[in-house]
Amino acid sequence: MNMSMDGELVLVPLGGLGEIGMNAMLYGFGPKRSRKWILVDLGLGFAGPDMPGIDLLMPDLTFIEKMKKDLIALVITHAHEDHIGAVADLWPRLGVPVYATRFGAGLLETKRLNEPGAPKVPLNIVEPGVPVQLGPFSVEFVRMAHSIPESCGLAIRTQAGLVMHTGDWKIDETPLVGWATDEKRLRELGDEGVLALVCDSTNILRDGQSPSETDVAKGLEVLIREATGRVVVTTFASNVARLRAVADAAAACGRTVVVVGRAMERVVQVARECGYLEGVPTFLSAESFGYLAREQIVILATGSQGESRAALARIAANEHPEVTLTPGDRVIFSSRTIPGNEKGVGDIINGLVAQGVHVVTDRDGLVHVSGHPRRAEVARMYEWTRPQIAVPAHGEAMHLAEHARFARAQGVPKVVSAHNGDMVLIGPGEAGIIDQVQHGRLAKDGNVLIAQNDAAIQARQTLSFAGIISVAIAITKAGEVAGDPDVMFTGLPLKLKDGKAMDEVVDEAIFSTLDSLPRSRRRDPDATAQSVERAIRNTLRQVWGKKPVVHVLVVEV
């Protein structure tokens, strides 16, 4: 590998540790001032209601952008959005080759073709079990079961040792679509000697082992067979096993499948190209909905996470151009609500119930299983790999802390509790956090990327809380007010608690301030604007209890 043994092996999470989503993990090897790097995954997260106008969040890559000449590759473990969703926006800042399995590469390419202006990314398709040499790193993809085809862990070898990066995984002996977790290979890696295990923490709070996709398929068939009207199944668009389970159940019940939602259509296209829907009849498009009898149709729809523009949200609001439901129809949420999406999902369910639709969720039966390992599965991973160091990953703070306790209980000699921005030394020497690097989040605002704390977002937060007042004032060269000020406000109540009109209060604040200013000061537009702005804000704070955004323009005439 042409690297001296004094090279350090480090990992630097830029996303995904301390949160669920936005995964981006750097591995570096070499002397401190000349390390070479690979980036594992480049995903996105979803913004909450505290960021008005923002839907998507992405990791800040400033740290590695400064050293991109030393970045060798971007390696993709699997094609979920929280692992590939930021590639189109952030890859141009890196410009490195991308390595993924056939299914992952297919989804990346399909997404690119459906996003105007998306960059042409150099995709290299890899096969599990065949190591890829990336500078000082030898990277072997290892088969893992998950809720999307071709999920892989990474066996990352350097002269400092072997790191097993699990990615997202679970143990499922009957995954329905795709491969099972490769226990044999993981045991072999354990025999080889795993220096560090970087392991999924998502379900570490749950005991036992996750049920199988095959069990869910049986439950879905029962629910579809029982239904007398239309059936809608909503799930993660990328869960090809679930799509196949619904298709098989529909066929067994004499129903036809209609796919509604562009994201799901893209996944179906790639899944067919890769052979994961072999033998499944071609799905119909939404335009076919009106030609099928109620008892003949099963709809696969996007929107399981409450996305406002997804198919199911439009159906629930009676706004979908092709698909409508009637009382007695059934909607099955074959999914788990991601924390933070509860309100959006709740709004959709309420809209459906108001239409007389019967809604089935995971509270009513086995209609969904997680793609992440519970405690018994994680224990088996430690048994197979026997690492010297554990680094809990992929989880919020409570998941990472519990996973750290769990790893110690499994007898792991060294556990490193890291979060985004920590630089972790894996070896040689004592493993631990040795530095902090620049990190954070970028927000996608329309088609522009801005910092999470950008002034535009802060201003929107204030606007959403207290509204805005705009005032235009004309002042003569002599310092006299010319005409009446022009006042507009949005987001403020029309009347105060005592019944006084808001516009009267604002007018009084403006005129009393102007009257109190000497002519010499009124001839200074900036000083006059500052005085009026301050007066309006202070007055409304006293009588209303809030301070709106106030813009004052003073023009000399």
Same domain? For 384 and 487 the reply is no
Q: Vertex 9, ends 87 and 76: CA angle to 5°?
A: 20
- Structural domain total, the chain: 3
CATH value at residue 476: 3.10.20.580
| Contacting residues for 518 by C-beta, under 8 A, at least 6 apart | 479
User: What are the tens digits of pLDDT across the range 324-365?
Assistant: 999 999 999 999 888 778 899 999 999 999 999 999 999 999
In a domain? residue 2? no
How large is the average pLDDT for residues 457-474? 89
What's the distance, CA 34 to chain centroid?
Answer: 32
**Contact call for residues 323 and 284 (beta carbons, < 8 A):** no
Sign for the CA dihedral angle at 412, 415, 419, 422 comes to negative
Residue 1 has a pLDDT of 37
H helical segments located in 317-411: 342-354, 375-385, 397-409
Residue 2 has pLDDT above 80, yes or no: no
- DSSP lists the bridge partners of residue 29 as 9, 36
Same domain? For 201 and 230 the reply is no
Same domain? For 337 and 352 the reply is yes
User: What are the tens digits of pLDDT across the range 486-514?
Assistant: 999 999 999 999 999 999 999 999 999 99
Q: What percent of the chain shows pLDDT beyond 70? A: 99
How large is the average pLDDT for residues 54-82? 95
Residue 4 has pLDDT above 70, yes or no: no
Structure tokens at 556: 């000399």
Amino acid at 425: L
How large is the average pLDDT for residues 447-451? 90
Of 418, 446, 474, which one is at a domain's C-terminal end? 446
In a domain? residue 538? yes
- Average pLDDT score over the chain: 94
Same domain? For 70 and 25 the reply is yes
In a domain? residue 1? no
DSSP-assigned letters across all residues of 2-44: ---TT-EEEEEEEESEEBSS--EEEEEEESGGG-EEEEE----
User: What are the tens digits of pLDDT across the range 86-127?
Assistant: 999 999 999 999 999 999 999 999 988 888 888 999 999 999
Of 446, 474, 506, which one is at a domain's C-terminal end? 446
Residue 203 has a pLDDT of 96
In a domain? residue 68? yes
Structure tokens at 124: 């290299």
Same domain? For 356 and 337 the reply is yes
Amino acid at 507: D
Give the whole-angstrom CA distance, residue 149 versus residue 133. 24
Same domain? For 184 and 257 the reply is no
How large is the average pLDDT for residues 125-145? 97
In a domain? residue 341? yes
Residue 5 has a pLDDT of 47
How large is the average pLDDT for residues 290-318? 94
Same domain? For 410 and 468 the reply is no
Q: Which domain holds residue 462?
A: 455-556
Confidence of residue 6 (pLDDT cuts 50, 70, 90): low
Same domain? For 18 and 165 the reply is yes
Same domain? For 197 and 221 the reply is no
Distances in Å between the Cα of 522 and the Cα atoms of 363, 464, 532 are 67, 32, 11
**Radius of gyration over alpha carbons of the chain, in Å?**
28
Same domain? For 67 and 52 the reply is yes
Q: Inter-axis angle of helices 375-385 and 397-409, to 10 degrees? A: 50
pTM, rounded to two decimals: 0.89
